[in-house]
């Protein structure tokens, strides 16, 4: 019955596709720029290889052993835990609702560059194109997921990811020819060890790494359900982490030389991709080609990540109901669409806002920021404390205590520093617009509480599975 990836390469490209996204090419350079450049790299690499990789392996081990989705994996641990599985699946859908909006922006900038139009972000937001693009992207993601694991997700990833690597490599080579290359690279790569004493930098780095690797969302668990027994989970996790970090670094090596060549601010944050860079492209030799390449690659990378976010709940829903994959996709994507409309309208003349903050920024600053550590915490804790299984122990080996003790502690610490506003500017769509920790944390827990309630009602929908070696 169960679907499988057609090859290990297919599995790797699908998981790398899930990991590599806006987080690597847009968010990473923004966070590095705001945290003063190279200093940030040390905690970033440490977080990636010491913490994120073991958590990836945990998700892989659970997914492959049980050959199932997040909800029934939690259900296997115990009847009550199924509710937590639904929390994870639901939180991922909320993230998807605004990830699709951002993906739509990228698509719009790509199409505009193709047409030779230099968009400014303000000009773009003065139209309803952001909403139109949201509709288009939502449709594309739904079509891919409803086509299935092999025919949809794997086919997309194996086609698109090589293009992403090649185009990014090409852009990095082009960046070498820019007069600001040396300065940009120095800013990006020179470590300043003094900042390592700043807990805010560490917190920003951890937040970025977990987001960027798509770990702690049940995505990797879901994808590992389709992998064969012979695949080495540690090797795969290592390859994914290296690829993800490499893409982020390559993006840095493209973005910072451009920024320094044009003499603009590296700390522009979110503005970097949609305001700073388009202006830079317009002023550069071959700028139009560069713009098409940059936004095209960003779009493809975002698309494969959006697909992975949807697959988590589609996999769960098809098992919890009698629905076919296309039907489950249509129902869930319908829900995500409704949820995403206010975000999509935030930067249009409709200007959807809550408490004076664009709705999109509000979702990003609340659920978008805090749901991720919560779901990662649930995965790490439930599958080591509540279910202490031989399979997971054997797979993690000496890294078991990292997942059981260190990761939960780190996640709590990161969440607390971010909520208390102690973290350095990690990521926010409009810098500093929502500084009040409570305004960000309260809605997150509101949403999670609603999901928990729904999950509780649905807890008997799925059956437990058996741990298999
Ligand atoms: N990792 C993806 C990126 O870097 C986005 C993502 C985040 C996907 C969280 C799933 C969960 O863009």
From the CB of 22, is ligand 1 less than 6 Å away?
Answer: yes
Cα–Cα distance measured from residue 140 to residue 383, given in angstroms and rounded to the nearest whole number: 34
Q: Output the residue whose Cα is nearest ligand 1's atom 8.
A: 214
Instruction: Report CA(241)–ligand 1 centroid distance (Å).
Output: 13
Helix, strand or coil, per DSSP, at residue 451: helix
| Best residue among 31, 96, 214 to mutate for probing ligand 1, ranked by most atoms within 8 Å of CB | 214
From the CB of 309, is ligand 1 less than 6 Å away?
Answer: yes
Q: What is the pLDDT of residue 292?
A: 97
216 contact partners, CB below 8 Å, separation of at least 6:
55, 59, 210, 372, 373, 375, 376, 377, 379, 380
Q: Which atom of ligand 1 is nearest to the CA of 219?
A: 10
Containing H/E element for 353? strand 353-354
Q: What is the pLDDT of residue 427?
A: 55
Instruction: Report CA(211)–ligand 1 centroid distance (Å).
Output: 5
Containing H/E element for 357? strand 357-358
Q: What is the pLDDT of residue 428?
A: 59
From the CB of 24, is ligand 1 less than 6 Å away?
Answer: yes
From the CB of 38, is ligand 1 less than 6 Å away?
Answer: no
Q: Of 303, 298, 342, which Cα lies nearest the Cα of 106?
A: 298
Q: Which atom of ligand 1 is nearest to the CA of 26?
A: 12
Q: Which atom of ligand 1 is nearest to the CA of 213?
A: 1
Q: What is the pLDDT of residue 431?
A: 44
Q: What is the pLDDT of residue 424?
A: 54
From the CB of 211, is ligand 1 less than 6 Å away?
Answer: yes
Q: Output the residue whose Cα is nearest ligand 1's atom 6.
A: 214
| Best residue among 20, 300, 303, 305 to mutate for probing ligand 1, ranked by most atoms within 8 Å of CB | 305
From the CB of 214, is ligand 1 less than 6 Å away?
Answer: yes
Per-residue pLDDT of the chain (469 residues; tens, 9 = 90+): 478 999 999 999 999 999 999 999 998 988 888 777 887 888 899 999 999 999 999 999 999 999 999 999 999 999 999 999 999 999 999 999 999 999 999 999 999 999 999 898 999 999 999 999 999 999 999 999 999 999 999 999 999 999 999 999 999 999 999 999 999 999 999 877 777 888 888 888 888 899 999 999 999 999 999 999 999 999 999 999 999 999 999 999 999 999 999 888 887 777 788 888 888 899 888 999 999 999 999 999 999 999 999 999 999 999 999 999 999 999 999 999 999 999 999 999 999 998 888 899 888 888 888 899 999 999 999 999 999 999 999 999 999 999 999 999 999 998 888 777 766 555 556 544 555 667 778 889 999 999 999 999 999 999 999 998 7
From the CB of 203, is ligand 1 less than 6 Å away?
Answer: no
Instruction: Report CA(146)–ligand 1 centroid distance (Å).
Output: 20
Q: Of 12, 26, 13, 4, which Cα lies nearest the Cα of 299?
A: 26
Which domains does the chain possess?
A: 8-457 (1.20.1740.10)
For residue 389 the two structure tokens come to 């299984």
Instruction: Report CA(177)–ligand 1 centroid distance (Å).
Output: 31
Instruction: Report CA(140)–ligand 1 centroid distance (Å).
Output: 18
| Best residue among 14, 19, 240 to mutate for probing ligand 1, ranked by most atoms within 8 Å of CB | 19
Q: Output the residue whose Cα is nearest ligand 1's atom 10.
A: 214
From the CB of 72, is ligand 1 less than 6 Å away?
Answer: no
| Best residue among 23, 251, 364 to mutate for probing ligand 1, ranked by most atoms within 8 Å of CB | 23
From the CB of 423, is ligand 1 less than 6 Å away?
Answer: no
Q: What is the pLDDT of residue 426?
A: 53
Instruction: Report CA(214)–ligand 1 centroid distance (Å).
Output: 5
115: number of Cβ within 10 Å: 10
Containing H/E element for 354? strand 353-354
DSSP for 264-325 reads --TT-TTHIIIIIHHHHHHTSTTHHHHHHHHHHHHHHHHHHHHHHHHHHHHHHHHHHSS--H
466 contact partners, CB below 8 Å, separation of at least 6:
66, 76
Helix, strand or coil, per DSSP, at residue 435: coil
From the CB of 16, is ligand 1 less than 6 Å away?
Answer: no
Q: Output the residue whose Cα is nearest ligand 1's atom 4.
A: 23
Instruction: Report CA(92)–ligand 1 centroid distance (Å).
Output: 10
Q: Output the residue whose Cα is nearest ligand 1's atom 11.
A: 214
Instruction: Report CA(113)–ligand 1 centroid distance (Å).
Output: 25
Instruction: Report CA(19)–ligand 1 centroid distance (Å).
Output: 6
From the CB of 180, is ligand 1 less than 6 Å away?
Answer: no
CA distances from 369 to 37, 72, 147 (A): 22, 26, 31
Containing H/E element for 358? strand 357-358
């Amino acid at each position: 019955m169960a679907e499988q990836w057609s090859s290990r390469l297919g599995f790797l490209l699908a998981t790398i596709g899930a990991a590599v996204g806006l987080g690597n090419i847009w968010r990473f350079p923004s966070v590095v720029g705001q945290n003063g450049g190279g200093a940030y790299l040390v905690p970033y690499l440490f977080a990636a290889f010491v913490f994120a990789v073991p958590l990836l392996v945990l998700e892989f081990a659970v997914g492959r052993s049980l050959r199932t989705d997040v909800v029934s994996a939690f259900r296997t641990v115990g009847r009550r835990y199924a509710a937590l599985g639904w929390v994870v699946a639901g939180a991922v859908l909320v993230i998807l609702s605004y990830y699709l909006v951002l993906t739509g922006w990228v698509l719009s900038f790509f199409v505009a560059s193709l047409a030779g139009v230099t968009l400014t972000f303000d000009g773009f937001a003065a139209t309803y194109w952001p909403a139109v693009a949201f509709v288009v992207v939502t449709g594309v993601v739904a079509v891919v997921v409803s086509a299935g694991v092999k025919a949809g997700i794997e086919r997309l990833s194996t086609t698109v990811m090589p293009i992403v690597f090649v185009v990014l490599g090409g852009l990095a080579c082009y960046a070498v020819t820019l007069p600001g290359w040396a300065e940009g690279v120095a800013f990006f790569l020179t470590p300043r060890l003094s900042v390592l004493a700043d807990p805010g930098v560490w917190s920003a780095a951890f937040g970025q790494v977990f987001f960027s690797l798509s770990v702690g969302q049940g995505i990797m668990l879901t994808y590992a359900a389709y992998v064969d027994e012979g695949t080495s989970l540690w090797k795969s996790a290592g390859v994914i982490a290296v690829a993800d970090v490499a893409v982020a670094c390559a993006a840095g090596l493209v973005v910072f030389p451009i920024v320094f060549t044009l003499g603009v601010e590296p700390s522009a944050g979110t503005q970097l991709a949609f305001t700073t860079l388009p202006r830079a492209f317009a002023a550069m030799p071959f700028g139009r080609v560069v713009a098409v390449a940059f936004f095209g690659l960003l779009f493809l990378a975002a698309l494969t990540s959006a697909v992975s976010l949807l697959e988590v709940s589609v996999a769960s829903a098809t098992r919890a109901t009698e629905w076919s994959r296309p039907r489950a996709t249509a129902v869930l994507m319908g829900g995500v669409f409704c949820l995403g409309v206010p975000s999509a309208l935030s930067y249009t003349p409709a200007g959807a806002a809550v408490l004076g903050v664009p709705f999109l920024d509000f979702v990003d600053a609340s659920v978008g920021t805090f749901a991720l550590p919560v779901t990662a915490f649930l995965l790490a804790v439930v599958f080591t404390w509540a279910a202490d299984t031989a399979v997971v122990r054997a797979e993690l080996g000496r890294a078991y205590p990292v997942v059981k003790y260190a990761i939960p502690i780190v996640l709590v610490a990161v969440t607390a520093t971010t909520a208390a506003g102690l973290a350095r500017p990690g990521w926010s769509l409009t810098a500093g617009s929502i500084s009040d920790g409570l305004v960000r944390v309260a809605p997150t827990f509101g949403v999670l509480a609603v999901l928990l309630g729904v999950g509780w009602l649905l807890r008997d929908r799925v059956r437990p599975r058996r741990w298999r070696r």
